[in-house]
Amino acid sequence: MISKCLFPVAGYGTRFLPATKAMPKEMLPVVNKPLVQYAVEEAVEAGLSDIGFVTGRGKRAIEDHFDISYELEKEIAGSTKVELLKDVNNLIEHNEFAFTRQVHMKGLGHAVLSGRNLMGDNPFAVVLADDLCVPDEGDIGVLAQMVKIYNQFRCSVVAIQEVPADEVHKYGVIAGEDMGNGLYRVNNMVEKPAKEDAPSNLAIIGRYILTPDIYERIEATPAGVGGEIQITDALLQQAKEGCVIAYKFRGKRFDCGSIDGFVEATNYVYENLYKKGR
Ligand code: G1P
């Protein structure tokens, strides 16, 4: 059983400056809820109740968000506003939250390794909160879909999506044997390839389930693209042994790390979730 989920949240969010000068990018609200809360809700829906954050300097607001604010509670007690804090208070009440710091920003692989003390030697999920995933109406979330796949294969699982050829350079890109039902057994993966070097147009989006042998692979992974230790490079070592499954998920994904994706997400959530009370 997987019960743990890691949220690497140490990144600077420079694309959103000046908004992210003094505020973590994961706290940017899509309508009235911060990105990181959507992500934690998705994990909890997937049955993951041990929530770990790899944070960094200037990210304290995330810890405060997943804690009781007694002053505020006292202020709004007895008013209709109490309802607005119900969901986050439920998360706090029924799940465990732990935080560790990534002292040096050396990439996503390094962030995952920094979370080892929180995740332990167990399979665990990794969620990048700036990829906002919204399930189709009546369907389960992307992470819940991936937990089912992990339970079937007991291998690392990455979520993928087809992207236009001129966008592959923004992603980790996989190639693999098509097993049907949106599943691929990965045999190659490249982080941020140039269009002409990409093994396909199947891009990894920010949802992973990792088996604990990933740690030793990360330790053995030299700095890659951008001088950073890439999770994609470490996963390639697992893939060479046949144990990485890529999954074309059901649902919508918004790249909230970009202004366009963020605005799109805001419009979609407002029309389809917020106004309909979903
Ligand atoms: C990271 C990963 C990349 C993945 C992407 C998904 O890149 O390194 O493989 O495709 O997330 O959002 P980043 O967007 O942090 O540069």
Question: To which residue do tokens 């019960």 refer?
Answer: 3
Using most ligand atoms within 8 A of CB, pick from 204, 229, 233, 262 the residue to mutate for ligand 1.
204
- pLDDT tens profile 55-81: 999 999 999 999 999 999 999 999 999
- Give pTM, 2 decimals: 0.96
- pLDDT tens profile 135-183: 999 999 999 999 999 999 999 999 999 999 999 999 999 999 999 999 9
End-to-end, the C-alpha distance of the chain in Å comes to: 29
Q: Residue 114: CA atoms inside 13 Å, Cβ hemisphere, count?
A: 23
- pLDDT tens profile 215-272: 999 999 999 999 999 999 999 999 999 999 999 999 999 999 999 999 999 999 999 9
Which residue, 256, 268, 42, 245, is CA-closest to 156?
A: 245
Strand partners, 99: 53
Atom of ligand 1 nearest to the CA of 255: 12
What percentage of the chain carries pLDDT values higher than 90?
96
Q: Say if residue 188's pLDDT is above 90.
A: yes
Å from CA of 171 to ligand 1 middle: 5
Q: Say if residue 278's pLDDT is above 80.
A: no
Using most ligand atoms within 8 A of CB, pick from 160, 170, 200, 258 the residue to mutate for ligand 1.
170
Q: Six-digit token pair at 59?
A: 């990210």
Name the residue at shortest CA distance from atom 15 of ligand 1.
Answer: 108
Q: Which residues contact 126 (CB under 8 A, 6 or more apart)?
A: 5, 6, 7, 8, 112, 206, 207, 208, 209, 210, 231
